[in-house]
Amino acid sequence: MFKRILAALLLFTLVTTAAPSLEKASASGSLYIAKIDSGNLNVRKSASTKAAVVTKLKKNQQMTVHSQSKGWAHITANGKKGYVSSKYIAPKKTIATATAKKPAAKATTASFSTDYRSKAISVAKSNQGVKYLWGGNTPKGFDCSGLVSYSFKQAGKTLPRTAAEMYTKGTSVASLSPGDLLFYATAGGKKVTHVAIYIGNGQMVHATTSKGVAIDNLSNSYWKARYVGAKRI
């Protein structure tokens, strides 16, 4: 009898000692990602499609999964707890591995880098009408070099910040091609103070103090008189 009582006490001690660690492990959960192609994944108050929606998750949005049962997962996301259908979630590491192995990503990157001049032109032209802002280098406002550096950066090419610094890069060209940088001395002499992007057909896109981001002709008397040279980056 004494041995049975001792064994029972020992088992009780083991269970009560292990319980906190099991609870802690359950609370920590595992990282999952919303596996949906479009729209949003509804997080519901209980494990039912009729339950109220407490929050919504976007594609690949991260969540913590505490448990799964009968096709539903108990999760925490956006600071709220709820339930989602298990078929619309996947472990985070699985998504990351699958994405990393896609060969198409390399092809896209290669295409992106080899055609950066035309892409930079497209970015600059898409910002026509944006106001002039001294020191500005975002669509909230541009100065001349800010527009050029922003446009090329979006196309995968990093340029110096100022027009004068840009003029020290690349190769001087006399016969222009779209994407070449045009340099001007607006203060007179040969000191470069303005930069534009040649877009073809005798036109350039640049940020001007009077019109903001605009397209002008190279034959414009003001700009023609202040032209210093062109560089191909």
C-beta separation of 30 from 64 below 8 A: yes
Q: Can 205 be counted among the known catalytic residues?
A: no
8 A C-beta contact, residue 5 and residue 43: no
Structural domain 28-97, CATH architecture: Roll (2.30)
Q: What is the pLDDT of residues 59-100, one digit of tens each?
A: 888 888 889 999 999 998 888 899 999 988 988 764 444 444
- Widest CA span of the chain, in angstroms? 111
Domains 28-97 and 109-232 share a fold: no
Residue 11's pLDDT is 45
pLDDT at 216 over 90: yes
Residue 193 has pLDDT above 70, yes or no: yes
For the stretch 28-46, pLDDT in tens is: 478 888 888 878 889 999 9
pLDDT for residue 167: 96
Q: For residues 144 and 210, give the distance between their C-alpha atoms in angstroms, rounded to a whole number.
A: 12
Side-chain half-sphere CA neighbours of 48 within 13 A: 5
Fold designation for 109-232: endopeptidase fold (from Nostoc punctiforme) (3.90.1720)
| Nearest-angstrom CA–CA distance, 126 and 107 | 25
When comparing pLDDT for 38 and 134, which is higher?
Answer: 134
**Which range (87-91, 92-96, 136-140, 186-190) has the least confidence?**
92-96
What does the domain layout of the chain look like in residue ranges? 28-97, 109-232
Q: Say whether 74 is catalytic.
A: no
Kindly write down the DSSP assignment for every residue of 205-221, as one continuous string: EEEETTTEEEEEETT-H
Is position 144 annotated as part of the catalytic site? yes
Alpha-carbon span 152 to 140, nearest angstrom: 17
The stretch 205-227 carries a mean pLDDT of 95
What share of the chain in percent tops pLDDT 70? Answer: 79
pLDDT at residue number 129: 93
Residue 60: what pLDDT?
Answer: 87
Q: How far apart are CA 186 and CA 195, in angstroms?
A: 10
Give 27's pLDDT tier (boundaries 50, 70, 90): very low
pLDDT tens figures, 93-123: 644 444 444 444 443 433 334 488 999 999 9
- Amino acid 1: pLDDT: 53
Burial class from Cβ neighbours inside 10 Å (0-12, 13-18, 19+) for residue 106 reads exposed
DSSP run (H or E) holding 158: none
Q: What is the pLDDT of residue 15?
A: 39
Catalytic residue among 194, 195, 199, 207: 194
Assigned token pair, 186? 């607006």
pLDDT tops 60 at residue 18: no
- Please pick, among 57, 73, 120, 144, the residue that the annotation labels catalytic: 144
Catalytic residue among 74, 119, 206, 226: 206
